[in-house]
Amino acid sequence: MITPQEALQRTIEHREVFHDEMLHIVRLIMSGECSPVMMAALITGLRVKKETIGEITAAAQVMREVSTKVPVTDTTNLVDIVGTGGDGSHTFNISTCSMFVAAAAGAKVSKHGGRSVSSKSGSADVLESLGVNINLKPEQIARSIEQVGIGFMFAPNHHPAMKNVAPVRKELGIKTIFNILGPLTNPAGAPNILMGVFHPDLVGIQVRALQRLGTEHAMVVYGRDGMDEISLGAATMVGELKDGEIREYELHPEDFGFAMSSNRALRVETPEQSKAMLLGVLDNQAGPALDIVLLNAGAALYAANVVDSVAAGVDRSRAAIASGAAKAKLAELVRASATV
């Protein structure tokens, strides 16, 4: 079997580390059998070479293998809404807010997230500030998904093997393959996903990795203004996987009746500001924050197969906020996370 040194040599020569070899190398990294120096060299080498779909798929398979799973029995309409982060836009937690709206409109959301790495407020940070207990056991999360339609999986609790990688990632301070693996490894095995990515090349790469990993319905999105969400400030590139087929196209905010608007209006400095903006959306306060959540929650409902188009999803989302159902979901999740 390939050694870490041989794999490193391969990356330096800009050659691929093949699927079975990559499985072996990532298992060595995850089990702590790979020294920090070698680990740093390998993940930097892969990044410089540019990770292939095969390498990413193999690494995601290993991460799924060693993760702590959430035992969800019925995965109908189950969706993850997740971004790779690292888009540098410092916006409020759009995907977290969209989660409440999508759940109120009929999807089940198993959201997989962590604390802020590069943003001002990670999904775990803002949920904690809203009073949600983010440290539930896998069985409790499964019950929360069943009862409330939302389960939040705090990434460090589900990826204990990442403790070997965390100090190396932190010290390197660059984006590595692990930034793009997190969103591919939903511990509840959600068959559907709305995934935002931080680079246009990742749209085609991640949607093909999801295809190989057996995802049913996926939308991988990149806002051309640099956002890892469906954007109001520019067209959004989409890679959609449905019924085994991949389509690539663009979404435009004006197609859904939204005014184009710069993401500057969505920026926050602290989790408190993010919380205030999120609550404003759930209170149906008009403005770009509400519009971008309607657009992303609408896409999540489409990805979850609750509706048959993003436009229909936007309408369902609008109704869920206007009726107060989305805000009620937040209260329900806070209650359930304290009692399940």
Domain annotation covers residue 325: yes
- What pTM, to 2 d.p., does this model score? 0.94
Write out the two tokens for 176.
């590595």
175 and 303, same domain (yes or no): yes
pLDDT digits (tens, 9 = 90+) for 166-193: 899 989 988 899 989 989 999 999 999 9
Of all residues in the chain, the percent with pLDDT exceeding 90 is 84
CATH code of the domain containing 33: 1.20.970.10
pLDDT digits (tens, 9 = 90+) for 240-278: 999 999 999 999 999 999 999 998 999 998 888 999 999
Question: The domain containing residue 122 runs over which residues?
Answer: 78-339
Domain annotation covers residue 82: yes
In sequence order, the 6+-apart residues with CB closer than 8 A to the CB of 53 are: 205, 208, 209, 212
Domain annotation covers residue 207: yes
Compute the average pLDDT of residues 295-309: 98
Domain annotation covers residue 33: yes
144 and 37, same domain (yes or no): no
Q: Are 147 and 333 spatial neighbours (Cβ–Cβ below 8 Å)?
A: no
Q: What is the pLDDT of residue 120?
A: 63
Q: Could you tell me the pLDDT band of residue 295, with boundaries at 50, 70 and 90?
A: very high
CATH code of the domain containing 160: 3.40.1030.10
Distance CA 260, CA 264 (A): 12
β-bridge partners, 193: 80, 218
Domain annotation covers residue 105: yes
168 and 27, same domain (yes or no): no
Q: Could you tell me the pLDDT band of residue 114, with boundaries at 50, 70 and 90?
A: confident
Comparing C-alpha atoms, which of 243, 182, 248, 188 is closest to residue 220?
Answer: 248
Domain annotation covers residue 59: no
208 and 154, same domain (yes or no): yes
Domain annotation covers residue 234: yes
Q: What is the pLDDT of residue 84?
A: 79
211 and 272, same domain (yes or no): yes
147 and 279, same domain (yes or no): yes
135 and 281, same domain (yes or no): yes
Comparing C-alpha atoms, which of 189, 147, 224, 180 is closest to residue 46?
Answer: 180
Domain annotation covers residue 55: no
Residue 88 has pLDDT above 80, yes or no: no
Structural domains counted in the chain: 2
Q: What is the pLDDT of residue 122?
A: 78
Question: Would residue 129 be called left, alpha or beta, if left means φ above 0 and alpha means ψ between -120 and 50 degrees?
Answer: alpha
228 and 280, same domain (yes or no): yes
pLDDT digits (tens, 9 = 90+) for 26-72: 999 999 999 999 999 999 999 999 999 999 999 999 999 999 999 99
Q: What is the pLDDT of residue 271?
A: 82
Average pLDDT in the chain: 94
141 and 89, same domain (yes or no): yes
